[in-house]
């Protein structure tokens, strides 16, 4: 049974928020509060940078492609209480249910640095031109983003010299040793140099993503490059919740219950990277959170008790392509962590960056 006339305000239209507005659109009056003009499929951004002509537009899914009844307000939230959301413009949206899904920020190019698709496309093209002319690339940060960036660059320009530095002593800490062994073997095959346990003494004087003479030292060893990228520094987008609805943890994340309510608030939920859920921050988790919250809100709208609970995976999950033909991955199974064969990494993510899945979910017709 569905019942309309209840308002659900969803703050943030990333992986979690977009899935949620789509799920609830025909069951409630959905108001999406999101400054961007399109859902951004961030997992595609590194290939959008290295192959902008073919890939950049495919990362953007305009909200009007899948929000049929609901309203989209291109605004930032600046405050939230049990009954509604205050917008940066000063206006207020009253709501029966509120879902907070404002996620995380990563330095460009991993996530865009504008709320406009047109500007984001121009940024990718501009940085692509800077990168194209650079023979030596320095990447600071050897997490999944830094590794994927290196792989995408090598797929287009195998001759470029790439160095990745990271203060951590090992790659993908917390994952199975066999995954690390495979990862090192592939990086070596691709000719990507990884220097672990190394901290840059200073940040390069050149802006990241701009061609220029990069000259830094790491533990007194000189490193030179013609361009560098920052691939570390994820921040939770929760500044608007300070002094607000519940105390944030030291990472700026919001505490949630197993039903994904913000602690102490039966009509306010949080999903995705914003939450303090003890798991790797992933788009796949955000989508699963959205399904749980959609079911709980529907139950409440229909006068029933919300019963769905979210169980985080005890196994670390990741798929890290190194371009379209290489990469590693780990998934949970009944017997614990399972390392994905390279063919599965390619099939599940590397080849099409999951655009097949997101086209089916969020596009009226696949991009030409």
Ligand X SMILES: Cc1cc2nc3c(=O)[nH]c(=O)nc-3n(C[C@H](O)[C@H](O)[C@H](O)COP(=O)(O)OP(=O)(O)OC[C@H]3O[C@@H](n4cnc5c(N)ncnc54)[C@H](O)[C@@H]3O)c2cc1C
Q: Give the binding site for ligand X (CB under 6 A).
A: 11-17, 33-36, 42-43, 45-46, 76-77, 101-104, 106, 110-111, 145, 148, 237, 240, 272-274, 281-284, 286, 319, 349
3-class secondary structure, 209: coil
Q: Which is nearer to ligand X, 36 or 160 (CB)?
A: 36
What's the closest the beta carbon of residue 227 comes to ligand X, in angstroms? 18
What's the closest the beta carbon of residue 273 comes to ligand X, in angstroms? 4
Q: Which is nearer to ligand X, 127 or 237 (CB)?
A: 237
Neighbours of 49 (CB within 10 A): 25
Q: Which is nearer to ligand X, 216 or 285 (CB)?
A: 285
What's the closest the beta carbon of residue 303 comes to ligand X, in angstroms? 29
Q: Which is nearer to ligand X, 212 or 308 (CB)?
A: 308
What's the closest the beta carbon of residue 221 comes to ligand X, in angstroms? 28
- Measured from each CB, the residue nearest to ligand X is 14
From the list 13, 96, 74, the residue with the least C-alpha distance to 297 is 96
Phi, psi torsion values for 38, nearest 5 degrees: -150, 155
At what angle are helices 15-24 and 355-362 packed, to 10 degrees? 30
DSSP-assigned beta bridge partners for residue 223: 216
The full length of the chain comes to 368
Q: Which is nearer to ligand X, 254 or 298 (CB)?
A: 254
DSSP 146-186: HHHHHHHHHHH-TTSEEEEEESSSSSSTTS-HHHHHHHHHH
CB neighbour class for 211 (10 Å; exposed up to 12, middle 13-18, buried from 19): middle
| DSSP assigned state of 43 | G
Q: Which is nearer to ligand X, 71 or 111 (CB)?
A: 111
How wide is the angle at C-alpha 180 spanned by C-alphas 178 and 184, nearest 5°?
120
How far are the Cα atoms of 63, 102, 149, 244, 359 from residue 29, in angstroms, in the given order?
Answer: 15, 20, 40, 25, 24
What's the closest the beta carbon of residue 33 comes to ligand X, in angstroms? 5
Q: Which is nearer to ligand X, 17 or 216 (CB)?
A: 17
Contact indicator for 270, 99 with CB cutoff of 8 Å: yes
What's the closest the beta carbon of residue 14 comes to ligand X, in angstroms? 2
What's the closest the beta carbon of residue 145 comes to ligand X, in angstroms? 5
3-class secondary structure, 335: coil
């Amino acid at each position: 049974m569905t019942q309309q006339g209840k308002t659900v305000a969803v703050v943030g239209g990333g992986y979690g928020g977009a899935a949620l507005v789509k799920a609830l659109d025909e069951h409630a009056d959905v108001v999406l509060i999101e400054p961007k003009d399109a859902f951004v499929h961030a997992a595609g951004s590194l290939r959008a940078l290295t192959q902008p002509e073919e890939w950049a537009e495919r990362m953007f899914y305009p909200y009007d492609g899948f929000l049929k009844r609901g309203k989209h307000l291109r605004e930032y939230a600046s405050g939230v209480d049990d009954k509604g959301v205050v917008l940066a413009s000063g206006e207020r949206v009253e709501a029966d249910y509120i879902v907070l899904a404002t996620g995380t920020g990563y330095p460009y190019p991993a996530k865009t640095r504008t709320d406009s698709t047109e500007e984001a496309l121009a940024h990718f093209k501009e940085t692509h031109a800077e990168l194209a002319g650079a023979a030596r690339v320095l990447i600071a940060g050897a997490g999944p983003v830094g590794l994927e960036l290196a792989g995408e660059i090598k797929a287009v320009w195998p001759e470029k010299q790439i160095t990745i530095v990271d203060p951590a002593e090992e790659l993908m800490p917390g994952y199975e040793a066999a995954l690390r062994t495979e990862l090192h073997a592939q990086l070596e095959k691709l000719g990507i140099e990884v220097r672990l346990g190394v901290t840059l003494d200073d940040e390069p004087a050149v802006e990241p993503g701009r061609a220029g003479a990069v000259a830094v030292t790491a533990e007194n060893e000189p490193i030179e490059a013609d361009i560098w990228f920052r691939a570390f520094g994820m921040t939770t987008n929760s500044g608007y919740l300070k002094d607000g609805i519940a105390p944030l943890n030291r990472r700026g994340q919001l505490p949630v219950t197993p039903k994904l309510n913000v602690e102490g608030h039966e009509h306010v939920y949080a999903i995705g990277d914003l939450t303090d859920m003890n798991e790797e921050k992933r788009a796949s988790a955000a989508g699963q959170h959205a399904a749980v919250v959609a079911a709980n809100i529907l139950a409440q709208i229909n006068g029933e008790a919300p019963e769905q609970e979210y169980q985080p995976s005890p196994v670390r999950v990741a798929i890290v392509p190194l371009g379209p033909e290489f990469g590693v991955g780990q998934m949970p199974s009944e017997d614990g962590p399972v390392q994905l064969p390279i063919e599965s990494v390619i099939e599940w993510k590397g080849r099409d960056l999951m655009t097949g899945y997101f086209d089916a979910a969020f596009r009226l017709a696949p991009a030409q």
